[in-house]
Structure 1
Amino acid sequence: MAKFVLFIGVLFALTAVIAGALGDHMVRKMIISQTMGEEVVAKANLNEIELSRPAAHRMSQYQTGVQYQMYHGLGMIALGIVMAISARGQVLGLITGIVLIVAVKLFSGTLFVISALGLTQFTLLVPIGGTLMIVGWMMFLVVVLLYEPLVDKEDLE
């Protein structure tokens, strides 16, 4: 169970880095093209274009998705480590991991779709994902409160 949570945490962190790199190149081009026109994309260096207000807003949404995915990837790595060294809380840890997976997909995933593709009809999924993030962190707190080392201190002496 801990290995699964660790794997997903590392996968989230990895894909956040990839999404961040894509955001600076591909997604920026898509957003400029959709909000400012193809002719702007064709005749200028994309990094030197001053973004219109809608384009800047969409880039900001995209970056928020990347940041929250990275934060939660690191959180899932921490959760996996706690699960790996604890004698208790394994099932709750796995459930917490699943809640955080759904939360990240709803929050960050929806922000990626809204910002990159302009599909604003999915906007209502973002607060649901954010709420699940809060629930997931509260569950993580309970896992930490249940923490009991696998090895007693006396056994190490």
Structure 2
Amino acid sequence: MAKFVLVLGVLFSGTAVIAGAMEHTVRGMIVSDVSGADADAVGDELSDPAPNPAVAKRLSQYETGVKYQMYHGLAMIGLGMIMACSARGQALGMAAAVSLVLGVVLFSGTLYLIAAMGMSQLTMLVPVGGSIMILGWILFLITVLLFEPLVDREDLE
């Protein structure tokens, strides 16, 4: 289970880097959607700062999604490492990982759709995802509190 959580953490972190690298493309999609013009036709509007408040808001939403995805990917890597070297808390650690994954998909994924595609009707999924992420952090904390090393310090001496 620990290896699976580690893999998920690395995948989430890696795809967050990819999402961040795609910001310029997403910016073009947002500018096109807000202004109604083709992204190639608006050329200079794709430079910083954002051309208008609506574009700035949607770019901020996209960046928030990327940040939270990265933070939680790194958290899952830490969770996987704790699970790999603990004799207890495996099932609870897996529940924490599932909560973090589901929360990130709902939170960041919804922010990506709202920002890039203008799907504001999905806005109510963002706090649901955030609440599930909070549950994941609570389960993560309990997993840490249950931590019991696989090897005792006396066995190493």
| TM-score (ref. length: structure 1) | 0.95
Tell me, in whole angstroms, the C-alpha distance in 1 between the residues paired with 2:126 and 2:42: 35
| Superposed displacement of residue 146, structure 1 | 0.1
Shift of 1:36: 1.9
**CA positional deviation for 1:40:** 6.8
Q: Distance in 2 between matches of 1:93 and 1:47?
A: 43
Question: What is the CA–CA distance in structure 1 between the aligned matches of 2:127 and 2:92, rounded to whole Å?
Answer: 24
The aligned residue for residue 16 of structure 2 is 16
Give the ranges of 4+ consecutive aligned residues of structure 1 lying more than 6 Å apart after TM superposition. Answer: none
Aligned pair in 2 of structure 1 residues 86, 37: CA closer, same or farther (>3 Å)?
same
Contact 1:36–1:52, Cα closer than 8 Å, also in 2 = no
Name the residue aligned to 1:111.
111
Q: Name the CA distance, whole Å, in 2 between partners of 1:57 and 1:103.
A: 22
Identity of aligned residues (%): 58
1:99-128 Cα deviation digits (max 9, x unpaired): 111000000000000100001111100000
What is the rounded CA distance, in whole Å, between the counterparts of 1:10 and 1:29 in structure 2? 28
SS in 2 for 1:38: coil
Please give the secondary structure, in 1, of the residue aligned with 2:22: helix
Correspondence list, 1:33-48, <5 A: 33-38=32-37, 41-45=40-44, 46-48=46-48
Identify the residue that residue 59 of structure 2 maps to in structure 1. Answer: 59
Change (3 A) 1:32 1:92: same
Q: Match of 1:136?
A: 136
2:8 counterpart of 1:2 = no
| TM-score under structure 2 length normalisation | 0.95
Aligned residues of 1:12 and 1:70 also touching (Cα < 8 A): yes
**Cα distance, 1:39 vs structure 2:** 5.5
Name the CA shift for 1:59/1:153 in 2 (closer, same or farther; >3 Å). same
Deviation at 1:44, TM superposition (A): 2.4
Change (3 A) 1:131 1:50: closer
Q: Decide whether aligned partners of structure 1 residues 129 and 48 sit closer, same or farther in structure 2, where only a CA change above 3 A counts.
A: closer
| Bigger Cα displacement from structure 2, 38-47 vs 145-154 | 38-47
Question: Distance between the aligned counterparts of 1:30 and 1:94, measured in 2?
Answer: 37
Map 1:71-150 to 2 at 5 A.
Answer: 71-150=71-150
Which ranges in structure 2 are unaligned for 5 or more consecutive residues?
none
Q: Which amino acid aligns with 2:28?
A: K
The Cα of 1:82 is off from its aligned counterpart by 0.3
- Count of residues in Structure 1 that have an aligned counterpart in Structure 2: 156
CA RMSD of aligned residues (A): 1.3
